[in-house]
Amino acid sequence: MHPTHPTRLLRFPATVIAVTGLLLSACSGGGHQATASVSTPAPPAGAATAAPAPSDTASPGAKPATTATLSPLPARTPADLASYYKQKLSWHSCGVPEFECATMKVPLDYARPVAADDLKLAVARTKAAGPGKRLGSLLVNPGGPGGSAIDYLQYAATGYPSAVTSRYDMAAVDPRGVARSEPVECLSDKQMDAYTAVDTTPDDTAEADKVAGADRTFAAGCKKMSAALIGHVSTIDSARDMDVLRQLLGDAKLNYVGKSYGTFLGATYAGLFPQRVGRLVLDGAMDPSVSALESSRAQAGGFEIAFGAFARDCVKRADCPLGRTSAANAGTRLDALFASLDKHPLPTGTKRPLTEALGTTGVIAAMYDQEAWPALRGALISANKGDGGPLLKLSDSYYERDDAGKYSNLMYANAAVNCLDLPPAFRSPADVTKALPAFRAASPHFGTTLAWSSLICGYWPLHATGHPERIQAKGAAPILVVGTIRDPATPYAWAESLAAQLSSGHLLTYDGDGHTAYARGSTCIDTAVNAYLLAGTVPPPHKKCT
């Protein structure tokens, strides 16, 4: 597996989005010309004034890893941004009943808005049908960074409890650089096939150099194809875009459900605009105070915990492809499969063999959602029989590669945002090698892969404009943070930390498996979140759902 900084590829499970079967093809923000030279942009407005070195030794938990704090923006909208807040959206049908689409303009650079450089962002909504008093708009974002909020909206509009969707206009904007909103591009599909197959458990210097070479090629491709854009796709930029949309939708305050990385986007909004916070649900929370390195290590541990849960479930089943003795033995068998794929990739019925990299990605993809565990068991059974096709299918779902070989821009946007938001976890193969013992301790089965997969930002053509910082959002209305104890992608300790940082944070705990919790089958979680979204009622302290 060689995803672009996968340890921050944090999104709602693709298996859930896929079941909607909808496509808002008429929702498009167009494309931005990427011919300008790349330069390092100034730190975005609202960033902390001091940028201390990231703490690479801290562990996630209630105590943040940095003392820097995100500063709010002035409450008054600057005069040079007034035209963006006063534009009129032209809504039109976009191919799916009851959905409307529009395009909104935002400045490429909020510090230096120039109309000729404006970005066009795709927006979609479906109106509340009642009964009951309308509560305004509810923006949603599934995470990533790089996940399409408009695609997720199609799930949320029907998958969220009707008590909520009947009272809110459900709305979304694909963030800048993502999907329909001026997408970042980096590689051809054929190049991406090669990139995803690069061995991220290198056995020698030559293989390590191939990892670094692949990352350099990826970064150079982003510079070549998206030069004008990649310096302006930070989370702070996207949070400011959401404030423009809030105004255009006619809402005095932002109501929002963010999943996974979407929690970082929502928390950043709260830090920048605390006075405009309505009801914010941050589900599968990230900790904005930790460094990229610590984030990568912690997520490696999260996937290890998730695999342990899968293995304990698997060994109880008659068809478990990893044996029926113990979870520890199941892990040993998984390692043996990976080692075999490293030496002898499996046929898949396509021109692409299942390499160790792709096989590992397939397993990781299934860790996001326990609903995918049966598919993983079946894929491992097939692999044991010499057929790598089902595991390759899981890997392709992770990368959003369709059957025709076309990739979405998920991974390109993911790298562009991550590498702008935080200084790199590693700057060289030597840095990765030094960190391997800690990663392997955190995750014996996935640690090596996740460490090497975190090298991409070390070769990025721009310096990061962000850094780890606390988000307090002083003066904001109550904010609901949801954490899942065995979440593979966003460790539960991050939810504890974010809720503690936010001056008005309230933690809701789900003692369960999978990535994120709301609208995913827990009546207890849904009841608590609904009470907050509908009436502003926060759960009691230490509320835990099972």
- Closest by Cα among 475, 514, 498 to 376: 514
SS (H, E, C) 331-378: HHHHHHHHHHHHHCCECCCCCCCECHHHHHHHHHHHHCCHHHHHHHHH
**Whether 161 contacts 132, CB under 8 Å:** no
Where would I find the H helices in 144-291?
Answer: 149-159, 162-165, 189-196, 205-226, 235-248, 261-272
Active-site pick, 487, 497, 513, 522: 487
Q: Is 243 a catalytic site residue?
A: no
Q: Is 260 a catalytic site residue?
A: yes
User: How do beta strands 137-141 and 254-259 pair?
Assistant: parallel
| Maximum CA extent, the chain | 68
Helix, strand, or coil (residue 139): strand
* CA dist., res. 120 & res. 139, Å (int): 18
Active-site pick, 295, 382, 515, 526: 515
Question: What pairs with residue 144 in β-bridges?
Answer: 10
With b meaning 16 or more CB within 10 Å and e meaning fewer, what string describes 232-252? bbbbbbbbbbbbbbbbbbebe
* CA dist., res. 440 & res. 49, Å (int): 36
- N-to-C CA span, the chain: 33
Secondary element (H or E) of residue 125: strand 119-126
Active-site pick, 226, 234, 260, 291: 260
Q: Is 515 a catalytic site residue?
A: yes
**Whether 280 contacts 503, CB under 8 Å:** no
Active site residues: 260, 487, 515
